Chain A
């Protein structure tokens, strides 16, 4: 075990705000995950027609004026909803806080794609005359937009930026928030990830051209990680933002503590633009375990990154098998099977979906698994039905992305 850290050096999650295709808050999301309820639907995309996607159904006007909505981006809107919900969840009154000591750190897969496509579509109607290009374009597409919109909406004057980290973004936004608290740069961090990728035909078309866009006659069965008949990614939008604090501050105000973040790691494959690398995934998980001062057998739940692609899923399965053994102690699940790939939000959202396991001792399953692919043999994979288990002390969350970026976060049941 690692030496006991002072409470000022222990970072805890004290609030959660989320927008998922199958829930607008943690209670709804968890209920859907335990009920096997998917959030995937048919969705019409410019130039492509009907595709399958995960769309969020929260009310953006809960926290934004109509003008803010018109001027801003969908990612900004999702981020504002999640950030406000997270602050409300932890029962903090923003008016009583030093807003210069709050930081906003959001992982994104990409940003600006949606807005650029929209503008090009608009000026096409004017024979590509650029005098019709919107003056709102630049503030919408700057990479810090989603985090910046949060600060504008909430009057936060501390640092804000996004972290471009492909589909590992959610874990990395969370990690950045933790690090800034440890560096004493801020006293409260809003860390997580967001995605508006469903607004971009290019994202769907790109996956289709790669032969990696999921299709199925029943939208809810389209995302099927580890299944022999999986055929690709379901693109989704979503967001999840955590309130992170030093344990000393959280204890002082006596707030609910969801869990402590004890391990985290980020590394790079340095091998390929798209295809993952087993060795670097193993290394990343090991780095996170080392940081937490624990061994593979201490982990009780593993949330897999598995996106449902032919190439990606087996690599992660091999990494887990090699590290956790043929008969691991940990139970393994997958959240994308319900909500699709929420891209920059995935790491954060999928972690959030698992946090209630510390209280209810139930592991949500991976759904849509009819025939386990022989290339993906995982013992202790929780298939199609939730599983009650005896011990949940540590949850490990994998989140990997293109260009070979890997991220792992380990959270621990909170104990003083």
Chain B
């Protein structure tokens, strides 16, 4: 996956988790939780989806790396490159 594809994947996962929110104007360089209502349990849903779909483990210490779409793509790209 390219970084753009990873961002699309994360967006698609978020859309499932918070289906009432409009994600069309989500800025990729601003923390996601500052733009939409996404609480800590929702965030854990993202972690769980990455685990279930791609077998990717994100350790708790790295959760901050998933703050924005850009930082998520940068952090996940090395692990999702081959997917």
Contact = CB atoms under 8 A, between A and B. Distances in A.
- The reply to whether chain A is a binding partner of chain B is yes
Interface of A: 65-67, 70-71, 126, 131-132, 134-136
Nearest to B16: A70
A67 B20 contact: yes
A126 B48 contact: no
Contacts of A70: 17, 19
Contacts of B52: 126, 132
A365 B41 CA distance: 48
A136 B51 contact: no
B18 A134 contact: no
B56 interface: no
A61 to B, nearest CB: 10
Interface string B18-50: 111000000000000000000001101100100
A90 B48 CA distance: 43
Given A131-B51, A132-B52, A71 B41 contact: yes
Given A71-B41, A135-B41, A66 B20 contact: yes
22 contacts: A65-B20, A66-B19, A66-B20, A67-B17, A67-B18, A67-B19, A67-B20, A67-B42, A70-B17, A70-B19, A71-B41, A126-B52, A131-B51, A132-B48, A132-B51, A132-B52, A134-B48, A135-B41, A135-B44, A135-B45, A135-B48, A136-B41
A50 B30 CA distance: 49
A132 B45 CA distance: 11
Q: What 9 A-B pairs have minimum CB-CB distances, sorted nearest first?
A: A66-B19, A65-B20, A135-B44, A66-B20, A67-B20, A67-B18, A67-B19, A132-B52, A135-B41
B58 to A, nearest CB: 12
A136 B17 CA distance: 12
A282 B63 CA distance: 62
Interface in B33-83: 41-42, 44-45, 48, 51-52
